[in-house]
Structure 1
Amino acid sequence: MQALQRVNPTSAPAPKGKYSQLTIVAAGTRTATFAGQIATDASAGAAEQTRLVFAAIGELLASQGATPSDLIKLTTFVVGRDSLAEFNTARDKVYHEWFPEGDFPANTLVLVAGLAIESSLVEIEGSFVCQESGGQRRPG
């Protein structure tokens, strides 16, 4: 079995967006969870913040030898319904590059009133399969 298997059972309702209903991780597979990522330029609009957040996620993946295809699950927080269209457009551009076969990770999208950093419009947290034991650890 491969490390990840994405499943959309025909017995369940079809996904209403760009996500898989289930992501099954093979036993013994090393995984990591990353904290919510926000844009480094919080003065940007939702589209640019979305691009920056996905760039940050890409760097986190690369630090462990992983790629977007190793993503297990994302939880996406978008501030206000007014930001949703810009977020979707920017996400779709990234997803077109990251998932050309349409094999999307599981995802939950939550509309919120605000985030901890007031100017942030998009925050994404998630988990992925690690491909190597690289990366750096900060002293605790």
Structure 2
Amino acid sequence: MKNIIKRNPNTMPKPVGEYSHVTVIPRNSELYTFSGQIGNDLEGNIPVSHKEQVENTFKNIERALLSENLRAEHIVKVNIWSVEEINWDHFDNVWHSFFETNPSMTIAYISALGLPEIGIEIEILAAKPSE
């Protein structure tokens, strides 16, 4: 199986966060797009705490991946939208427990998401290389 390559070229500045500047998807890979995931639990409840929403969001991403027989290593791009400042110590702990290698990433602080109680939304793109 050809692997997804994630790298930071030495011709570029070091990333300012936990991401890779470049992700190479092997030819003939299956691409998967996923809707943005939010921090609701399995009953649909959205916690007030931004930290809990971050944790639940990654749990929901993992569930979405598993539904397609994918793992975090298949994620090639992450887009993060947050309506409040992220606690980076907490976020990085959750991130590192999820990812072994860092995909490409974009993050934006915005004024609102789909519902007033949503504090963070994370969208992923994944690829599964052909066997």
Give the TM-score category using the shorter length: 0.7 to 0.9
What does the per-residue CA deviation read over 1:98-129, in whole Å, with 9 as the maximum and x for residues that have no partner?
Answer: 234xx201110100111111110000011112
Mapped to 2, the partners of 1:12 and 1:96 lie a distance apart of 23
8 Å Cα contact 2:2-2:129 kept in structure 1: no
Deviation at 1:44, TM superposition (A): 2.5
Counterparts of residues 5-16 of structure 1 (less than 5 Å)? 5-16=5-16
Deviation at 1:24, TM superposition (A): 0.6
Unaligned runs of 5+ in 2: none
Q: 2:53 aligned with 1:49, yes or no?
A: yes
TM-score (norm 1): 0.82
What does the per-residue CA deviation read over 1:23-46, in whole Å, with 9 as the maximum and x for residues that have no partner?
Answer: 110010001010111111323311
Indicate which of 96, 109, 112 corresponds to 1:111.
109
Counterparts of residues 53-72 of structure 1 (less than 5 Å)? 53-72=57-76
Counterparts of residues 88-99 of structure 1 (less than 5 Å)? 88-99=88-99
Mapped to 2, the partners of 1:54 and 1:131 lie a distance apart of 23
What residue is the counterpart of 2:122 in the other structure?
Answer: 124
What does the per-residue CA deviation read over 1:85-107, in whole Å, with 9 as the maximum and x for residues that have no partner?
Answer: 1xx2333222222234xx20111
TM-score (norm 2): 0.88
Q: 2:34 aligned with 1:34, yes or no?
A: yes
Amino acid paired to 1:9: P
Moved over 4 A (4+): none
Q: 2:10 aligned with 1:21, yes or no?
A: no
Unaligned runs of 5+ in 1: 133-140
Please provide the CA RMSD for this pair: 1.8
8 Å Cα contact 1:77-1:124 kept in structure 2: yes
